[in-house]
Chain A
Amino acid sequence: ENISDFSLNITDCTQVVVPEEVFFTVAAAGILENLLILVAVVRNKNLHLPMYFFICSLAISDMLGSLYKTLENIFIILCKMGYLTRHGDFEKKLDDAMDSMFILSLLGSIFSLLAIAADRYITIFYALRYHNIMTLRRALVILAIIWAFCAGSSIAIALFSYEAATVIPFTILFPLMMFFILCLYVHMFLLARSHAKKIASLPSSTVHHRTNMKGAITLTIFLGVFLCCWAPFVLHILLARFCPHNPYCACYMSIFHVNGTLIMCNAIINPMIFAFRSPELRSTFKKMFYCPR
């Protein structure tokens, strides 16, 4: 609508609107799912392990992202109904707080994924020393450091968003982290492959290629989902900073709502990739639902 007001040509890129019902459904599903994981980990003593704490951290950051979208939509509806004006100081501060919540969620997501990958890496390559390297206390300290850093950065970015300099480190961090996580997982994958070959050479073994195929599929799904959900938004930030007046960039930026919905979909898919693969967590869910107190 904005662009159509200003553009000189009829054939412009109007904002692609995602219906609010879809927004709310996706956001609510994300929040509920991640909340479920948190509850399950808290209730089951067997899940008080570093690995599950990192998964919880991911669940919290996904929840924050969905919460941001929900709050924003509620904010807009309140504006529609006239309960809130958009001129006041309070609204501006609220908007600042919500922006920093979103950036916090994004940074928290990236760092949680990194922590999960590092934890798995240590489990595989330093298996016998794992319990000395990754104690519960160290895991909590690592999480505290990560979240303190993310909170500080998000507040700084929200306050100084007018500077061009804030966008650049942000957009460099994203591919850097992706690449690092990819390296960790590929290394683990190579080790798994060599083990599979060893097992395959045993006389009574029957499976090999199928297992590694599954590994390839899993790894591709994980990285593909992460890329597809976050990269569009990061590209949007870049384009908005560097070429807002270019018609091509403006057309890309018109699908911003779709990109936002993708991020919320990531909040729904992440638990399926990480948390629900653990048999212990699944049995905790079953206990929670089939034997309610």
Chain B
Amino acid sequence: MSALRLISNRTSQQALSNSDYTWDYEYYEYGPVSFEGLKAHKYSIVIGFWVGLAVFVIFMFFVLTLLTKTGAPHQDNAELSEKRFHMNSFVAEFGRPLESQRVFSHQMAEESQSLFHFCINEVDHMNKEKESQKGPNLESNTHFQEVPKSSGMFEEDLHCLTKFNIPNFVNTEQNSSLGEDDLLISEPPIIL
């Protein structure tokens, strides 16, 4: 990279004033740069670049926080009832009605596959017998009460997965996924 070499030359030059460059830069040299008649401030690119960068980062932050605060309109009714069914199976023992999930947007529901859904669908594909055994497990799982307090969504998904007793999956998954769950959550998960 000629820029790098030129710069390293310049740093060398700062050390020794009588510098004599032999590296060939014939095509590229800092010739006489005239600063006459500048319309804008001479550091305008620097200032403009950093201001633009800061604005972009702040804008991104606000977009992300807006995504967290505002729910979007509604969800598809069919999906809503289906999800509600699965959620009900989790909250059966609490005896309280599930609030309606109008906060979900239709788009969100389609794009972001619920891992609960995924758990259940995957198990459908894998082993139907196990699923029927897991039904009562899910409903009678009193430990699930602790799960929401952990404030981590990936932890809940993992607990959902652990309930399925998928062989050789739980132990290693604990190590790998819990560590990297810290992408979004920095609180330690509760290990059942």
Chain A residues at the B interface, C-beta cutoff of 8 Å: 1-3, 6-9, 11-13, 15, 17, 46, 49-51, 72, 75-77, 79-80, 86-87, 92, 95, 98-99, 102-103, 119-120, 123-125, 127-131, 157-158, 161-162, 185-199, 201-207, 209-220, 223-224, 227-228, 231-232, 235-237, 239-241, 244-253, 255-257, 277-281
Cα distance A238–B167 in the bound complex, in angstroms: 53
**Residues of B contacting A123 in the complex (Cβ-Cβ under 8 angstroms):** 176-177, 180
Residue contact B108 to A6, C-beta cutoff 8 Å: no
Interfacial chain A residues near B10, Cβ < 8 Å:
1-2, 15
A106 to chain B, nearest CB (A): 10
In the assembled complex, which residues on chain B have CB atoms less than 8 Å from the CB atom of A204?
94, 145, 148-149
> Chain B: which residue is nearest A92 at the CB level?
B23
Q: Encode B116-133 as 1/0 by CB contact (under 8 A) with A.
A: 101100100000000000
State which of B56, B148, B176 has its C-beta within 8 Å of the C-beta of A205.
Answer: B148
Q: In the complex the two chains form, what is the Cα distance from A65 to B44 in whole Å?
A: 29
- Return the chain A residue nearest B146 by Cβ: A204
18 further A-B contacts with Cβ under 8 Å, apart from A6-B30, A76-B12, are A1-B13, A8-B34, A15-B14, A76-B8, A102-B1, A103-B1, A128-B118, A131-B172, A158-B1, A189-B67, A196-B153, A232-B49, A244-B30, A248-B40, A251-B44, A253-B3, A256-B7, A280-B179
Q: Among the listed A15, A131, A188, which residue makes an inter-chain contact with B169, where contact means beta carbons less than 8 Å apart?
A: A131
B184 CB contacts on chain A under 8 angstroms: 188-189, 192, 211-212, 214-215, 218-219
- Chain B interface residues (CB < 8 Å from chain A): 1-16, 19-23, 27-28, 30-36, 38, 40, 42-46, 49, 53, 56-57, 60-61, 64-65, 67-69, 71, 83, 87, 90-91, 94, 96, 98-99, 101, 103-104, 108-109, 111-116, 118-119, 122, 145, 147-149, 151-154, 156-157, 161, 166, 169, 172-173, 175-180, 182-186, 188
24 cross-chain CB contacts under 8 A: A7-B32, A11-B35, A86-B9, A86-B22, A87-B20, A128-B169, A130-B176, A131-B169, A187-B112, A189-B184, A190-B108, A190-B112, A193-B67, A193-B68, A193-B108, A204-B148, A204-B149, A209-B68, A216-B68, A220-B57, A220-B61, A228-B53, A256-B3, A256-B7
The secondary-structure label for the interface of chain B is helix
Say yes or no: A203 contacts B161, CB within 8 Å. no
Could you count the A-B residue pairs with CB atoms below 8 Å apart for me: how many are there? 287
Would B23 and A206 count as touching, CB distance under 8 A? no
Pairwise interchain contact A201-B101, C-beta atoms closer than 8 A: yes
Docked-complex contact A7 and B34, CB < 8 angstroms: yes
- Return chain A residues, CB-CB under 8 Å to B145: 204
Measured between beta carbons, the chain A residues less than 8 angstroms from B65 are 213, 216
